[in-house]
Amino acid sequence: MFTLGDQPLANAFLTPEQIDEPEPRYPLVVRECADCGIIQLKHVINAASMFSDYAFVTGISQGMTAHFAELMRENIDWHVPPGGLVVEIGSNDGTALASIASHDVRRLGIDPAVNLSDIARSRGVPAVAQFFTETLAEQVVAIHGQASLIVACNVLGHIDDLDDVLRGVRHLLSPKGAFVIEVPCANWLISRTEYDTIYHEHLSYFAVKPLSALVARHGLKITRVESQEVHGGSIRVTVQHGIGHTHAVVPWFQGDSIPRDWVAFRQRCEDTREHLVGWLTRARDDGRTVFGYGASAKATVRLNYCGVSTDLMPSIVDSTPGKQGRFVPGTRQSIHDPSVIDTLRPSDVLILAWNHNLEIRPKLAQYVASGGRVASLTTTGRLNHA
Ligand code: TMP
């Protein structure tokens, strides 16, 4: 068991009216199943309160947009006949489905966030603003027929009733179709000290072995696994109808059978906390001002776990319009458009959205050229001042 203490909801960015109100906090505790190795939250928060109006917009990141476009194109080539149906579970603002507008396929996005499904539709992507369930899958099949490709990226971890979703997938997936899942891999979460990927929205943290056990309960099997660098280390897993699993999956099972050292993980989390707070405290004491870059859910978790108050980091910049003018849950940093870096000229910028380092760094070139200093969190949780 590992605990991050009582934490606010990581994406519940506060409006100016809300910052004087008491903020609910919920225990953030994970535990590991001794049987299959899945890691899950001990306390589950009501899904509707987290997902019906969602702050994260996929299309903000060009890197992720390109990543999902490649996933879609590749899997359409492999699995979808002309005119076939492609369904995305957790379609967010329709970014991935929009990338295949010119393909000869039918598209359907499913996402409970009303605000994001509206955006998807405005981009020409058919979208249903509902949770994906077995019942919804039956309705989709009745209207559109079965799907040749079902994609679920960074969404399975959000789902409480995984068996209901898998029953739905089994029903919706055509006999030779593919269900492609992408999730951050729990093994890298532990080995790279990515504790900030643990938050209330993420109920489950997967590796290949627990995923295999899950899909096997529904007459499905893993036919392919690939590692991907996104989100601190992810796995892209292809699931099809059938029993057992293909030979290529076996080495992954061996890796997943190594016992996890939670004591060492906790120690590394505490070390990185001391390292970050020590650096921010020295910066403040030297009269420097540090702004954060990227008001991601990860940033909320890290700032709260490390107790980074506004005197250590007053503000964060983020290009998501819906986050600007709001405040970080718990630690209350104000969130601004990135252009304030050039107007307010903080002495240092710390990239909190470390999974987007490569995309964010070039945006700070001008600031660095005029004397600004940039540090980023690395995947080990240490700071990189290069
Ligand atoms: P994520 O870690 O959940 O993907 O969130 C990343 C956050 O960083 C999201 O709020 C958008 C923000 N961001 C920027 O502000 N500028 C950028 O260039 C990128 C890539 C992300």
What atom of ligand 1 comes closest to residue 317's alpha carbon?
15
Domain end residue (candidates: 227, 256, 285): 256
User: Which residue puts its alpha carbon closest to atom 4 of ligand 1?
Assistant: 296
What atom of ligand 1 comes closest to residue 323's alpha carbon?
10
Q: Does 173 share its domain with 118? A: yes
What atom of ligand 1 comes closest to residue 360's alpha carbon?
18
pLDDT over 70, % of the chain: 98
Q: Quote the CA–CA distance of 331 and 338 in Å, as a whole number.
A: 19
pLDDT at residue 385, rounded to an integer = 82
Number of domains composing the chain: 2
Q: Which residue has the tokens 């079902």?
A: 150
What atom of ligand 1 comes closest to residue 318's alpha carbon?
15
Q: Quote the CA–CA distance of 353 and 71 in Å, as a whole number.
A: 22
Q: Quote the CA–CA distance of 200 and 297 in Å, as a whole number.
A: 10
pLDDT at residue 57, rounded to an integer = 76
CATH number of the domain enclosing 248:
3.40.50.150
Q: Is 168 in the pocket of ligand 1 (CB under 6 A)?
A: no
Q: Does 205 share its domain with 275? A: no
Band of residue 381 on the pLDDT scale cut at 50, 70, 90: low
* 122 phi/psi in degrees, rounded to 5: -65, -20
* CA 78 to centroid of ligand 1, rounded, Å: 31
Q: Does 221 share its domain with 272? A: no
Q: Is 313 helix (H, G, I), strand (E, B) or coil?
A: coil
pLDDT at residue 380, rounded to an integer = 66
* CA 287 to centroid of ligand 1, rounded, Å: 28
Task: With respect to residue 261, please indicate whether it lies within any of the assigned structural domains.
Answer: no
* CA 215 to centroid of ligand 1, rounded, Å: 31
Segment 75-129, tens digit of pLDDT: 999 999 999 999 999 999 999 999 999 999 999 999 999 999 999 999 999 999 9
Is the pLDDT at 212 greater than 70? The verdict is: yes
Is the pLDDT at 379 greater than 70? The verdict is: no
Domain end residue (candidates: 206, 237, 256): 256
Q: Which domain holds residue 332?
A: 266-384
Integer Rg of the chain from CA: 21
Q: Quote the CA–CA distance of 116 and 274 in Å, as a whole number.
A: 38
DSSP β-bridge partners for residue 224: 238
The alpha helices in the chain, defined as continuous H runs, are 47-51, 62-79, 95-98, 114-122, 134-144, 162-172, 186-191, 208-216, 250-256, 262-285, 297-306, 340-344, 357-360, 365-369
